Amino acid sequence: MTPVLAVKNLVKIYRTAGAPVPAVRGVDLEVEQGEFVAVMGPSGSGKSTLVHVMAGLDSRTDGEIWLAGERVDTLGEAAWAVKRRKHIGFVFQFFNLVANMTVADNVELPALLAGQSARQARERRDYLLGELGLTAQADSPPGRLSGGEQQRVALARALANQPTLLLADEPTGNLDSGNTRDVLRLLKAVHGNGQSIVLVTHDARVATMADRVLTLCDGQITDDGRIKGRGGGVSDVVRLRG
Amino acid sequence: MRLQLLALLAKEPAHGYELKQALEQTFGNAYPSPNIGQIYVTLGRLEKDGLVRGVDVEQSNRPNKKVYHLTAAGLDTLAIWADEPTEGPRVRDEFFMKLVLAPMTGMADRMALITRQRRHYLALMQDLNQLLAATDRGNRYAILLIEGAMLHLQADLEWLDRCQEELL
């Protein structure tokens, strides 16, 4: 089956005033339909840059990005934006909700931008707000909500267009343990419905919910494996790169 | 296990099996279930050291059971234990010894050691996650014990990252 996402020899180098800073240094990765992949690694290892570049939120320096079997990194910005709306949902660490719109409008916006009818967009919005327990907050501005609630709104927004792939960058990084538990429970439920997910986290508790854990160090994948607990602690080797 | 048993006996006299049950109920599933034989051996040693006193209690149509009481010397030992700080962070980490020394033997390379250890910790974390989900929210001691183990594992994983950054 075609992977929902494939990157080949992906490179990202930041060119600032000083010397060029390589953040991602030749990453190869395929994410299969329905897979839940966690990306771990120390601060500065490039894990956040990697998902931003994969989502097209930041440009790549070199390499290829394939979304649902189609190469997107060679598309123009407008054409890629269309693909992105259709295929990618993104959850940020700091929510990134539009402050002067209601919760309901935040969730509805991506569907309208993607060209769905107002009725379809509204139905999808109502369904998501219900599923994520946010119906009562629909008419509030996001700023009135707690951090955990705002992240649930961000998750609803990311799912508005039924994306092929959900990307999340430290979605629990700014939440207390109770809200972390809520967001994780929802991600698990979404994954249970067949949603493919790539999630960046430094929190091993969060990472072990995934089917597969990648370790990034200094812009390169140094391990890629499935976690199998329950006593034995043995995990089968998928690939091991030095 | 000596001091755990003394502490339980300070509350009320008990026989070996009751002590095993008390430990299991207090600390929950994450706590490695104590072996009953080991409890009897420890009680025997405590008795020899004069910290507990065993009293045979006759039972109708069953063998006698021995009920243990804390002695005055046992109480003193407990008081010292309660007053002392407990062992702090370890500087004698088994994995770290291996990481430093094994490559010198030519039998292992550091990247493989770190990767294997990371996977092992992640698998343990997954086990703890499942244990936490299966633990009654009302058992605060058991919940805290598991959460403590998880925080230690998170620190171990971050330390592995540091080792990988510095040594490879």
Residue matched to tokens 């149509």: B61
CB-based contact B125 A231, cutoff 8 Å: no
Q: Which residues of A209-218 are buried (b: 16+ CB within 10 A; e: fewer)?
A: bbebbbbbbb
- pLDDT by residue (tens digit) across A5-47? 999 999 999 988 888 999 999 999 999 999 999 999 999 999 9
Backbone angles phi, psi at B47, to 5 degrees: -70, -40
Name the average pLDDT for chain A.
90
The chain A residue lying nearest B158, using CA atoms, is A42
Which pLDDT score, from 0 to 100, does residue A35 have?
96
Last residue of a domain, one of B83, B105, B127: B83
Least confident of A233-242, B4-13, B128-137: A233-242
Interchain CB contact of A209 with B (< 8 Å): yes
Reported as type and span, the H/E element at residue A118 is helix A118-131
Please check whether residue A15 lies inside any domain of the structure.
no
Is residue A108 over pLDDT 70?
A: yes
Shared-domain flag, residues B108 and B60: no
| Token couple for A212 | 């597969």
Shared-domain flag, residues B78 and B124: no
- pLDDT by residue (tens digit) across B30-87? 888 889 999 999 999 999 999 999 999 888 888 888 999 999 999 999 999 999 998 8
Q: How far is B31 from chain A (nearest CA, A)?
A: 14
Shared-domain flag, residues B116 and B71: no
> For chains A and B, what is the number of CB pairs under 8 angstroms?
72
Please check whether residue B89 lies inside any domain of the structure.
no
Backbone angles phi, psi at A150, to 5 degrees: -60, -40
- pLDDT by residue (tens digit) across A71-90? 999 999 899 999 999 999 99
Which pLDDT score, from 0 to 100, does residue A141 have?
96
Q: Are B166 and B100 contacting, i.e. CB atoms less than 8 angstroms apart?
A: no
- pLDDT by residue (tens digit) across B118-140? 999 999 999 999 999 899 989 99
Name the interface residues of B facing A (CB cutoff 8 Å): 111-112, 115, 118-127, 129-130, 150, 153-154, 157-158, 161-162, 164-165, 168
Backbone angles phi, psi at B81, to 5 degrees: -60, -45
ipTM: 0.82
Tell me how far apart the alpha carbons of residues A32 and A238 are, in angstroms, rounded to a whole number.
Answer: 14
Backbone angles phi, psi at A166, to 5 degrees: -100, 120
Question: For residue B126, which residues of chain A lie inside 8 Å, CB to CB?
Answer: 208, 227-230
Shared-domain flag, residues B99 and B62: no
Please check whether residue B17 lies inside any domain of the structure.
yes
Q: Are A214 and A224 contacting, i.e. CB atoms less than 8 angstroms apart?
A: yes
Number of domains in chain A: 1
The chain B residue lying nearest A209, using CA atoms, is B126
Please check whether residue B88 lies inside any domain of the structure.
no
Closest CA to A55 of A12, A98, A108: A12
Number of domains in chain B: 2
The domain containing residue B107 runs over which residues? 94-167
Amino acid making up residue A2? T
Hey, of B109, B110, B122, B159, which one would you mutate to test binding to chain A, going by the most A CBs within 10 A of its CB?
B122
- CATH number of the domain that A153 lies in? 3.40.50.300
Tell me how far apart the alpha carbons of residues B42 and B26 are, in angstroms, rounded to a whole number.
Answer: 19
The chain B residue lying nearest A214, using CA atoms, is B119
What is the pLDDT averaged over residues A175-190?
Answer: 87
